[in-house]
């Protein structure tokens, strides 16, 4: 089946390792050597408590963004990538954000922080990292979510493009993707999920309406590229080894005026809401604490 027909069914494209390995490795090495990748990345507990600083700690478009310092045309102008992205979201699409993502090994995380993040469903480490290092994104795993989680009140016609800059083994927090999980449209994080097995998982639009889906664990080599709809559930386990996973991620949106994109066709098939005012229910937005007890982590 052609990859775009497959996308219409599954909401995911696995392009395989199509991006120049040598250039990926060079980019990886530049990120790797640009900072103190150790416990030195993090603030002290005392400093954190004196100013939890929980907002705007991630790179933005044109703001505090290490990925914007590089010529990424070997990715963006790759003919296969460009052709498929243009067909999906139109040639007049907008790149809302490109950023590097680092999957953080446990041995960098200070003890005080380990206790905190172990309970979090979405361990984005931005607010715990020293301000000078916040030009890339840091994760200690994130449970199954839709990327719509970043876009409350907006139609989920975005796509995420994700490139592995190093070889990602089973221990290195590979992406887990639930194929076809767009069918219920926008649902709130944390999601109704059960019976997680190697190849499948059950996901519900409510406690009463579960369906079984195929799951893919994206163990893959340097230069492997993936693309998914912002309605597709995916997540990562915390790292299980000392090598960080370094990736590059794009958030891309079609132009509002363009109605002839394949993503518009994809959204037409969805039986459910295409946007949501409240996208998550795991954090108290007025405090730095996550509502840990109520929900169980799936990706541990």
Ligand X SMILES: O=C(O)CCC(=O)C(=O)O
Q: Which is nearer to ligand X, 84 or 236 (CB)?
A: 236
Cβ proximity to ligand X: between 237 and 261 the closer is 237
Prior bond to 190 cis, omega within 30? yes
Name the nearest CA neighbour of 280 among 140, 155, 146: 146
Return the closest-CA partner of residue 249 out of 153, 127, 131, 161: 161
Q: Quick one: what does residue 90 bind among ligand X, Fe ion, none, with the CB cut-off 5 to 8 Å set by partner type?
A: none
Q: For residue 73, count other CB atoms closer than 10 A to its CB.
A: 8
A 10 A CB-CB count for 92 gives 12
Q: Which of 249, 274, 292, 299 binds ligand X (CB under 6 A)?
A: 249
Q: Are 109 and 118 in contact (CB under 8 A)?
A: no
Judge contact between 209 and 138, C-beta under 8 A.
Answer: no
Binding mask 132-171 for ligand X (x = CB under 6 A): -------x--x----x------------x-x---------
Residue with nearest beta carbon to ligand X: 236
Q: Residue 38 Cβ, how far from Fe ion at the closest point, in Å?
A: 26
Which x/- pattern over 108-147 shows residues binding Fe ion (rule: CB under 5 A)? ---------------------------------------x
103 binding ligand X? (CB under 6 A): yes
d(CA 67, CA 113): 26
Is 97 a binder of ligand X (CB under 6 A)? no
Cis peptide before 264, with omega less than 30 degrees from 0?
no
Shortest distance in whole angstroms from residue 36 CB to ligand X? 20
Could you tell me the smallest distance in angstroms from the CB atom of residue 6 to ligand X? 20
What gap in Å lies between CA 109 and CA 266, rounded to an integer?
A: 40
Is residue 280 part of the contact set for ligand X (CB under 6 A)? Answer: no
Which stretches of the chain bind ligand X, using CB under 6 A? 101, 103, 139, 142, 147, 160, 162, 173, 234, 236, 247, 249
């Amino acid at each position: 089946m052609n990859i775009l027909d497959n996308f219409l069914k599954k909401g995911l494209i696995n392009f395989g390792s199509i991006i120049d390995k040598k250039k990926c490795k060079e980019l990886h090495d530049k990120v790797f050597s640009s900072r103190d990748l150790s416990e030195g990345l993090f603030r002290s507990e005392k400093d954190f408590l004196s100013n939890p600083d929980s907002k705007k700690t991630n790179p933005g478009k044109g703001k505090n963004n290490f990925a914007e310092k590089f010529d990424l045309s070997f990715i963006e102008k790759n003919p296969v990538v460009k052709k498929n992205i243009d067909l999906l979201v139109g040639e007049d699409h907008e790149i809302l954000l490109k950023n590097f993502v680092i999957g953080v090994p446990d041995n960098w995380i200070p003890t005080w922080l380990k206790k905190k993040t172990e309970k979090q469903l979405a361990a984005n480490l931005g607010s715990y990292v020293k301000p000078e290092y916040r030009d890339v994104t840091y994760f200690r795993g994130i449970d199954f979510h839709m990327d719509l989680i970043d876009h409350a009140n907006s139609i989920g016609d975005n796509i995420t493009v994700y490139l592995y800059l190093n070889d990602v083994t089973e221990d290195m927090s590979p992406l887990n993707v639930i194929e076809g999980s767009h069918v219920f449209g926008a649902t709130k994080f944390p999601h109704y999920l059960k019976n997680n097995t190697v190849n499948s998982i059950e996901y519900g639009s409510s406690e009463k309406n579960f369906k079984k889906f195929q799951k893919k664990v994206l163990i893959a080599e340097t230069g492997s590229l993936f693309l998914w709809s912002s309605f597709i559930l995916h997540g990562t386990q915390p790292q299980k080894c000392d090598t960080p996973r370094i990736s590059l991620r794009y958030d891309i949106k079609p132009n509002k005026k363009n109605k002839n994109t394949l993503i518009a066709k994809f959204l037409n098939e969805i039986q459910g809401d295409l946007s949501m005012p409240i996208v998550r229910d795991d954090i108290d937005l007025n405090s730095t604490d996550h509502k840990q007890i109520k929900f169980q982590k799936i990706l541990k």
